[in-house]
């Protein structure tokens, strides 16, 4: 059985086709600049040459049509007909309080997605477009929604409520939702498998450190706390997002700079974080290089990032009254021994000991602690696409 996974952005679309018998990837690819000049499909079939095509793609329907044509193409294809696609799994960013797990998409689910647009105005509309495009092109194939927020629906109320008048939770559902749920769930499950213990018996802290970054406390397999909030802006400082700040800074800067709400929101989302502090780049590789060359602000950005990760880990140990394993994942977590070392060297009070040789690993699963370490530290490459494929497969089964 083959499952087709789609992650739709406003002008882009990433896809993978999985054979669920062995969870192998038959093909994957990316469509960029949908609705713009220079739209391009890059299709990578397994064991065949990469194929690129630049052509007009006014909308997501046309983009998905081209992807499907590539999948069944005689030369570049990997299946002989579209009938070989048994289910479609969509990454959906916001499921609000309506979805605590993945669901088969029907009219009622679509209505909920539409109702929740105000909570994720940039992300849910393209996700909806992708679902509608697939419905048009493959009306008889079941579609499943896999939500970034769903894994965190197990947060207790005292963790997800903000200290603002309760009526705003009741009226507008203003609360912590958390994101990257598919990734946190995947790496927590892999951690339990690597440790050879049932996840129900483990306290795990998962650190998804990419351009967007969040941390999650997974107690007995359930998310009980996470660093992103009502939006992905809360929590850790990130590539370009500020993370936690005093909310009074918003009105202060608006007055001082004469900014509109959009302008201040743009600064906090796009010009802050390690980019804002370093003035160098939002990409951690560039910042690491600049810091090595003696750029003090680049070093400051790295120091503050690592410090925040360490503080969140400490607070999640408190939230769970202990920790068995800490997981590093995503671009930086998987590939930066320096970040992992800097974070962990301040956690020796937990009985945690990093093995510097083992920590030299990049992009591969590994336990990077000494044999005597009381807390395991694991590097686990995330695989959100596989997780979406598994959940889709389970639901249509
Ligand atoms: P996202 O999916 O949120 O865009 P990724 O998980 O791809 O992000 O992570 C991107 C970040 O990971 C970038 O800031 C990049 O610099 C960082 N990164 C990737 N490889 C390395 C590396 N070898 N060393 C340090 N940072 C890295």
How do residues 200-245 score in pLDDT, each as one tens digit? Answer: 999 999 999 999 999 999 999 999 999 999 999 999 999 999 999 9
Q: Are residues 129 and 217 in the same domain?
A: no
Q: Which two tokens stand for residue 396?
A: 């249509």
Q: Are residues 125 and 229 in the same domain?
A: no
pLDDT digits (tens, 9 = 90+) for 173-199: 999 999 999 999 999 999 999 999 999
Q: Are residues 48 and 136 in the same domain?
A: yes
Q: Are residues 205 and 351 in the same domain?
A: yes
Q: Which of 113, 129, 147 is the last residue of a domain?
A: 147
Q: Are residues 238 and 352 in the same domain?
A: yes
Q: Are residues 203 and 122 in the same domain?
A: no
Contacts of 55 (CB under 8 A, 6+ apart): 39, 41, 66
User: Does ligand 1 have an atom closer than 6 angstroms to the CB of 336?
Assistant: yes
Point out the ligand 1 atom lying closest to the alpha carbon of residue 382.
Answer: 6
Q: Are residues 20 and 136 in the same domain?
A: yes
- List the catalytic residue out of 73, 83, 98, 148: 148
257-284 mean pLDDT: 96
Count of the separate structural domains present in the chain: 2
Q: Are residues 140 and 256 in the same domain?
A: no
pLDDT of residue 235: 98
Say if CB 307 and CB 339 are below 8 A apart: no
pLDDT of residue 370: 98
pLDDT digits (tens, 9 = 90+) for 6-44: 999 889 999 999 999 999 999 999 999 999 999 999 999
Q: Are residues 132 and 205 in the same domain?
A: no
Residue 296 maps to a domain: yes
Say if residue 253's pLDDT is above 90.
Answer: yes
Binned at pLDDT 50, 70 and 90, residue 329 comes out as very high
pLDDT of residue 10: 85
Residue 178 maps to a domain: no
If you write DSSP's letter for every residue of 124-181 in order, what string do you get? HHHHHHHHHHHHHH-TTS-EEEEETTGGGGGS-HHHH--SS-HHHHHHH--S---S-H
Least confident window among 116-125, 270-279, 303-312: 116-125
DSSP code at position 244: S
Q: Which of 89, 113, 147 is the last residue of a domain?
A: 147
The CATH number of residue 86's host domain is 3.30.420.40
- Can you give the residue range of the structural domain that contains 76? 2-147
Q: Which of 147, 178, 206 is the last residue of a domain?
A: 147
Residue 285 maps to a domain: yes
Residue 372 maps to a domain: yes
Contacts of 304 (CB under 8 A, 6+ apart): 237, 277
Instruction: Tell me the pTM.
Output: 0.95
Residue 278 maps to a domain: yes
Q: Which two tokens stand for residue 317?
A: 């140990």
Point out the ligand 1 atom lying closest to the alpha carbon of residue 213.
Answer: 3
pLDDT of residue 122: 85
Q: Are residues 227 and 349 in the same domain?
A: yes
Q: Are residues 343 and 268 in the same domain?
A: yes
Residue nearest to atom 3 of ligand 1 (CA): 211
Q: Are residues 131 and 231 in the same domain?
A: no
Contacts of 20 (CB under 8 A, 6+ apart): 1, 2, 3, 389, 390, 393
Dihedral sign for Cα atoms in the order 16, 191, 349, 180: positive
User: Does ligand 1 have an atom closer than 6 angstroms to the CB of 281?
Assistant: no
């Amino acid at each position: 059985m083959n499952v087709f996974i789609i992650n739709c952005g406003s002008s882009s679309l990433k896809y993978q086709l999985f054979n669920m018998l062995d969870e192998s990837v038959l093909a994957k690819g990316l469509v960029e600049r949908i609705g713009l000049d220079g739209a391009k499909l890059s299709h990578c079939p397994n064991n065949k040459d990469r194929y690129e095509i630049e052509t007009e793609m006014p909308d997501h329907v046309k983009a998905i049509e081209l992807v499907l044509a590539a999948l069944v193409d005689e030369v570049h294809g990997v299946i002989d007909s579209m009938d070989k696609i048994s289910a479609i799994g969509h990454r959906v960013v916001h499921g609000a309080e309506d979805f605590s797990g993945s669901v088969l998409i029907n009219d009622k689910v679509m209505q909920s997605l539409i109702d929740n647009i105000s909570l994720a105005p940039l992300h849910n509309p393209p996700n909806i477009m992708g679902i509608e495009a697939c419905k048009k092109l493959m009306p008889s194939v079941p579609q499943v929604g896999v939500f970034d927020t769903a894994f965190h629906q197990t947060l207790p109320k005292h963790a997800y409520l903000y200290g603002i008048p309760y009526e705003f939770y009741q009226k507008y559902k203003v609360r912590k939702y958390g994101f990257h749920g598919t990734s946190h769930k995947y790496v927590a499950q892999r951690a339990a498998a690597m440790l050879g213990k049932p996840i129900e018996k483990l306290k795990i802290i998962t650190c998804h450190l990419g351009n967007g970054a969040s941390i999650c406390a997974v107690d007995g397999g359930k998310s009980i706390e996470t660093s992103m909030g009502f939006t992905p802006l809360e929590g850790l400082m990130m590539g370009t997002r500020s993370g936690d700040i005093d909310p009074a800074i918003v009105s202060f800067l608006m007055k001082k700079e004469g900014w509109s709400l959009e302008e201040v929101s743009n600064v906090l989302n796009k010009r802050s974080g390690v980019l804002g502090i370093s003035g160098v780049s939002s990409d951690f590789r560039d910042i690491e290089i600049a810091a090595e060359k003696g750029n003090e602000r680049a070093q400051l950005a790295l120091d503050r990032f690592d410090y925040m990760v360490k503080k969140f880990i400490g607070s999640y140990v408190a939230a769970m009254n202990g920790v068995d394993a800490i997981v590093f994942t995503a671009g930086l977590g998987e590939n930066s021994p320096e970040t992992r070392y800097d974070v962990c060297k301040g956690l020796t009070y937990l009985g945690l000991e990093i093995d510097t040789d083992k920590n030299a690993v990049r992009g591969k699963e590994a336990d990077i602690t000494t044999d005597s370490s009381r807390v395991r530290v694991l590097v686990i490459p995330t695989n959100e696409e596989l997780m979406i494929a598994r959940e889709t497969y389970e639901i249509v089964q």
